[in-house]
Chain A
Amino acid sequence: MGAKGKFALAYVGASAMLLAGIAIAWVAFWKDLGADEQVAIVPIVMPRAGLFAILIVGSIAFIGFVLRALYRAFVEPPLKLGEEATLLVTANPEHRIKFEGTSEFQPLVKAINALADQRQSLQQDVEQKIVEAKAAVEEEKNRLGALMSELTQSVVVCNLDGRILLYNNRARLQFKTLSDTPTAAGGGELIGLGRSIYAIFERNMISHALDSIQSRLRKQGSQPVANFVTTTRAGQLIRVQMAPVLTTVADNEERAVSGYVLMLDNITRNFENETRRDHMLQSLTEGSRASLAGIRAAVETLSDYPDMEPEQRDSFVGVIRDEVRAMSQRLDDTVTEFADALKARWPLEEMLGEDLISAAQRRIENKVGIATKVEEVTDGLWVKVDSFSLLQGLTYLAARLESEFDVREVRFRLLPAGRLAHLDIIWSGTVIGSETLMAWEMESMTVAGETSPLTLRDVMERHGGEIWSQREKAAHRIYFRLLIPSAQPAEQLDAQAFLRGESRPEYYDFDLFRWKDSSHALDDRLLTELTFTVFDTETTGLNPSGGDEIIQIGATRIVNGKLLKSEGFEQLVDPERELAPESAKIHGITQDMLEGQPNIDKVLPAFHAFCQDTVLVAHNAAFDMRFLQLKEDRTGLRFDHPVLDTLLLSAVIHPNQESHKLEAIAERLGVIIIGRHTAMGDAIVTGEVFLKMIPLLEEKGIRTLREVREAAEKTYYARVKY
């Protein structure tokens, strides 16, 4: 019963009480009178009954009036206040109560409004803090991402299920060399966010390493790191160091391992170097032993049996001559062949010659204060140097030239010479003899008061190099020539590939830490937590069973609700048949673009690997799937992944729209189209469209893979097409 009802009841009650009171009073008064009095009073009262009635009705009306006034003053206002306060709490925190009522309520209203102010500013404060904290976390993540991408070591971070949640560019390049078809996905079928590390390393090896880390953690104190070396399919040797990622927990709890960091090192080349060195040692020792045996036996026989025939003597001398010659030859060969292996093992870095020279110029101008010039530097010449000590050496030479021979200017020349390079410091004026240079070489290097513990000789030895002074009489100039090792510019390619990643792409996703493979079957997983491969194909025509073939596959991945454009798969395919010239108008691919491309038998295995453990998404998927499935017998690869079709999903979401073409859907959902009708361009548009569809499907109560498949099957289009 509402307040009004209660008041109405009270009013009725009060009126009834009044009437009852009057009636009781009348009865009591009546009984008290004697019979004659009763007779006497009737004529007095009766004519005034109207007056009494008016008095009674008036009283009842008065009670009603008072009750109504009370209701208006003290019952209605709290009800209204209550409503407004509720509005403030639940809907609109900016609402303030405006109240024109009795003064008793004013303080309450003021207090409520003050609380609302306070609450609002607190809320804003909290929101501000959250925004700041989020920004800080994001910035830290980005900083970590940046750091990782600049590292020259390969780093991969995985959760306990072996899913990759961070990797850097170097790791990506490394896996590219491990891939069977390096051009298509750039190793992307092996490495990618959410992919399984077990595609690369054996599960047992990883779990063994994890076990040993965990046992070390339990023992505490010791460093919880595990190492192993493994070979890859391509025969490369990879050294792996594993360190645990620990969860932060309260003080006295044991820290749990939630994932691990893998640092990878391709030691194939080191190993080859070691092997070469071993081989060299062996050929030197064993080869020499055999020759020496021949010589020693011959010499000892000669001296022990002086009585032998001249012919025999000649043949023994012949043995000695042959073997000595063979040994000399072997030594020469070894030195040439193993020159690199024989060099000092000081770690040298590869450096562009120009950079080395300009660094030397700056340093000499700053420290010695004389002019420098470049006479000639061969373009693109790389040298292998310990740049710090070599620059010290060059500066030291310039300083001594300046202080002892008053040289005011030095010039540089850097030229290739086989596997070596000539670095010349040139000046004009005094000739400096080899004794002087020798003396300079042996002293510890001092420049501008700074003394190095090294001598110039040490520097040259580090480089396995030599130094001498030389003179060109005709040109009136003298120079010191430093012989230093040059480097193959092979590494340069690597460096370029390294720089190519213009923006720092989506190489990490720490939300994957929370993933657990075992938690759901694929069908019951939410769309938001599945990994998708969105793909598109370009073909020679529309009839797969009539001999039309795939000429291009483009694909990209969606992990954790994000489209990973940097983890794409893009490959032209040689269809091994003629391309109808008019088809080029659609996809822009011409016959000569396809020449030399791998055929479908080579591309499908890489694409299959790229799709592993994911749900396939395509627009009008039936068409593309047909092409893939027709190849199943030939390649033995089954594309039996779950498939979602954006065409059908569009029909689920907008059943009343006429067009479900990709362009039309993209326009409806506000996706900007770039580069359509390349396989990759279409795959990206499809992926973006699909991402926009997920929340729309959710509104219709379609959340899991099973639900979305069932919904798609029910659409009109599905019934027509399949």
Chain B
Amino acid sequence: MGKRVLIVDDEPNIVISLEFLMKREGFEVSVARDGEEALRKVEESTPDVMLLDVMMPKKTGYEVCQQIRANPSLSGVKIVMLTAKGRDTEVAKGLDLGADAYMTKPFSTKDLVAQVRALLGIS
């Protein structure tokens, strides 16, 4: 099927696992290290799902999310926010800004995979 996943996170240690997992699920994976790179890559390749970290250099995940949602041509991109900010106010902010799901670090890889599959409508 070749669904495309964009992983956006500045911490290589989590990116390793995410990349491995998504490839094993059979997705086409690309990686961005900061907010600006993420926006560029989204425009280029229009992924189906984005795993978006909140705390990043240059642009935060919130800003990236907001800009993507402001662009109607990108409305098909599903966004899963990954963050170390666990307070309910921050979860609410992420969902309000247009994220489809919000996962607090540390999360279970099974849950993450299940979430991504659900968003893509793969049973």
Contact = CB atoms under 8 A, between A and B. Distances in A.
Interface of A: 285-287, 289-290, 292-298, 300-301, 304-305, 308, 312, 315-316, 319, 322-323
A294 B12 CA distance: 9
A556 B11 CA distance: 66
Nearest to B17: A297
Contacts of A297: 14, 17-18, 21, 106-107, 109, 112
B: interface residue count bin = 20 to 34
B40 interface: no
Contacts of B55: 286, 290
A295 B11 CA distance: 12
Contacts of A304: 109-110
B58 interface: no
B82 A293 contact: yes
9 contacts: A285-B84, A292-B105, A293-B107, A297-B109, A301-B20, A301-B21, A301-B109, A315-B16, A319-B17
A538 B20 CA distance: 82
Contacts of B20: 301, 305, 308, 312, 316
B67 to A, nearest CB: 24
**Which of A292, A293, A322 has the most CB atoms of chain B within a 10 A radius of its CB?**
A293
Nearest to A326: B13
Contacts of B106: 289, 292-297
Nearest to A286: B84
Query: SS class of chain A's interface: helix, strand, loop or mixed?
Result: helix
Given A286-B85, A287-B84, A305-B24, A293 B105 contact: yes
B73 interface: no
B66 interface: no
B108 interface: yes
B62 to A, nearest CB: 15
A298 B17 CA distance: 6
Interface in B93-123: 104-110, 112
Contacts of A293: 14, 82, 84, 105-107
B57 interface: no
B57 to A, nearest CB: 14
Given A295-B106, A297-B109, A289 B17 contact: no
A323 B104 contact: no
A38 B53 CA distance: 164
A297 B20 CA distance: 10
A295 B108 CA distance: 11
Nearest to A304: B109
Contacts of A300: 17, 108-110
A289 B9 CA distance: 14
Contacts of B17: 294, 297-298, 300-301, 316, 319
Contact of B105 (A290, A298, A301): A290
A328 to B, nearest CB: 15
A312 B19 CA distance: 12
Interface string B41-69: 00000000000000100000000000000
Given A287-B84, A305-B24, A294 B13 contact: yes
A195 B14 CA distance: 64
Contacts of B16: 298, 315-316, 319
A315 B16 CA distance: 8
B84 A296 contact: no
Contacts of B18: 297
B86 interface: yes
The 4 closest A-B pairs by CB, nearest first: A293-B105, A297-B17, A289-B84, A292-B106
Contacts of A316: 16-17, 20
A283 to B, nearest CB: 11
Contacts of A287: 84
